[in-house]
Amino acid sequence: MKLPRDISGRELVKLLSRSWGYRQIHQTGSHIILETEEPGHQRLAVPDHESLRIGTLNSILRAVAEHKRVMREEILRSL
């Protein structure tokens, strides 16, 4: 499945918060810090940019998929 080319950092934060159990804990500069306790503790930094670079988006999705023990495509379907 192809990665979307036009997703913003804020849109990704909303998706991860709504569908995957993450919550925004604070913002440092241009990075939004997310945290989850399901199934264990994890923190992520998502750049607050208009359009995320493909490599950045791929890296975030890979980290979420590995932590949640799901396939990356399952996360992409919820975009």
The predicted-structure confidence for 45-66, as pLDDT tens digits, reads as follows 999 999 999 999 999 999 999 9
Which class does domain 9-77 fall in? alpha beta
Query: What is the average pLDDT across 14-26?
Result: 96
Mean per-residue pLDDT, 21-28 = 96
Long-range contacts of 67-75 (CB under 8 A, 24+ apart): 67/36, 67/39, 67/40, 67/42, 68/20, 68/38, 68/39, 69/39, 73/1, 75/20
Contact 27, 33 (CB under 8 A): yes
Reported as a pLDDT band with limits 50, 70 and 90, residue 73 is: very high
Mean pLDDT of 19-35: 96
3-state DSSP call for residue 30?
Answer: coil
